[in-house]
Amino acid sequence: MKNRFPQGARMHFALCLLLLLAPIAMLHAQAIANGTYTVTPQNATGLRLDDEGARTTTGNGIDVYTANGTGAQNWAFSDTGVVPAGYYNLATEGAYCLSASGTTSGSAVVLDPCAGTSAQAWEAVASGSFWVFHPADNTALCLTASGTTSGKAVDVDTCSGATSQEWSGPTGSSGGGSGSCSGVANISVGGVTYAPQWCQEFNGAAGPPSTTAWNYDLGNNGGWGNNEVEVYCGPPGYSGNPSECPTTFSTSTAPVYVDGSGHLVIQPRDVSGTWISARMTTEGIQNFEYGILEASIELPNTTNQGLWPAFWTLGSDINSVPWPTCGEADIMENWSPQVDGGAGTTGNNSTIHTAKTGGAGIGERYTFPSGEATDTAFHTYGIVWKSNEMQFFVDNASSPFFTVTPSSLPSGDTWPFNADLFALLNVAIGGTLGGSTSGLSNPQPMKVDYVRWYTAQ
């Protein structure tokens, strides 16, 4: 494998100053899809809403804490049977609910047994791409991270529009096609049961994909270290979108969209001689640590060169620990047999990149059985991941084709995969493994049925 991601400019959606100064009444109500999410304060995006010490004692404190992928940071949102109607209970560690301990500004937020009280009912109000949460006891108050360092308490304060009162993570139940884990079954692998914690199902009406569940890398960034030629775009109106990107939505012009049939579509397009595509990332929104991370994908035909689709991960510390030391795991990577012996439609390459292995990495190829191909059906590409081990699989988590551990690394190397990762989906155009675009015309899209993360129970 070649270097696919040198550390570069990181592009994030920022809420505009006008909205920060706008009256709270200008914010609009919007439904959150019932499901399990991690919840991130926008004044410190490396932290998560957290059950302090993972304790289930009545009145246990709630804090913001470094993302760690534990159950204490997984919050089950449900509006079923909640009073007032349309409000949510937020539960963690079983039947324990986020509770406002009082009705005045500065009151602590705690964890109590779920009892259906108004102190446990939270109104979710959309604030741009983020959420503001009001306790039903006093909707003039907002869920607030009291500081920007790990361990700082969470309370309810008078709503001010500050970033400490804006949270990301939960996804909307209408528009953009994101969904919850409702109806997604557990997986059993090697005698271990894995339960779904974070699911992107891409159901709903045709439209732009979520900007709450996903961030979007933008532009060409000098070819992303691989001589790629595409310009990456976010949905119309996404902050920082290059001029080549569509400004209004249509499935006939968008390089990334939800198709209304349960799929995310990344469709490379030639716009007046410039290729546009999309690279979606959960960086700063959703980190993963251990469990099963998988996506169901139907790839474009890569018999001829030009396209380079991938589903992959990077270490969440990439902004402080540069690539490749931060670690990269390519779960699905596909390119033409005309370039460096790619698998084309017959298989998949999975590779890890570490400090010593660099761009070459360590990897294996999966070859599909006769009669199956990457571009004629959806296949599930994933990892079963635990401390000091990653197992890569296609279609069957119980039958990995590639297992890697610290002992697989060269002497003096460092295993970077016992820490948080974030996920990426993209279709690159041209470049080191994409090859020449001279014969590329009206390529097929990459379609994604779902992306799911499960954790061991």
Which of 328, 329, 334, 368 has its CA nearest to residue 349?
Answer: 334
Taking alpha carbons only, the member of 176, 166, 214, 183 closest to residue 11 is: 214
Contact 131, 166 (CB under 8 A): yes
Cα separation values, 381 from 73, 285, 391, Å: 26, 22, 11
pLDDT category, 128, cuts 50, 70, 90? low
Q: Is the pLDDT of residue 58 over 60?
A: yes
Rounded to 10 degrees, the C-alpha dihedral 211/235/293/290 comes to -40
pLDDT tens profile 105-114? 999 999 999 9
Give 403's strand partners: 391
pLDDT at 171: 55
Per the DSSP assignment, residues forming a β-bridge with 295 are 381, 451
For residue 324, cis peptide bond before it (omega within 30 degrees of 0): yes
Please report the domains of the chain, with CATH numbers, ordered by start residue. Answer: 34-168 (2.80.10.50), 187-456 (2.60.120.200)
Minimal CA–CA distance to 258: which of 61, 40, 448? Answer: 448
**What tens digit of pLDDT does each residue of 27-53 get?**
334 467 677 788 989 999 889 999 999
Q: Stretch 272-297: mean pLDDT, rounded?
A: 95
Q: Which has the closest alpha carbon to 443: 265, 232, 220, 212?
A: 265
pLDDT tier at 85, thresholds 50, 70, 90:
confident
The predicted pLDDT at position 9 comes to: 33
SS3 163: helix
pLDDT band at 181 (very low <50, low <70, confident <90, very high): confident
Taking the model in full, what pTM does it have? 0.68
Tell me what percent of the residues of the chain surpass a pLDDT of 90: 76
What is the rounded distance in angstroms from the CA atom of residue 23 to the CA atom of residue 21?
Answer: 7
Q: What is the mean pLDDT of the chain?
A: 89
For 205-229, write each residue's pLDDT tens digit.
898 998 888 999 999 999 999 999 9
CA distance readout (Å), 395 to 112, 180, 250, 296, 398: 41, 22, 32, 9, 9
Average pLDDT for residues 371-377, to the nearest whole number?
A: 98
pLDDT of residue 2: 40
Rounded to 5 degrees, what are φ and ψ at 394?
Answer: -125, 120
Positive or negative, the CA dihedral 194, 196, 202, 208 is negative
Give the residue from 333, 330, 324 showing the smallest Cα distance to 351: 330
The pLDDT value recorded for residue 45 is 83
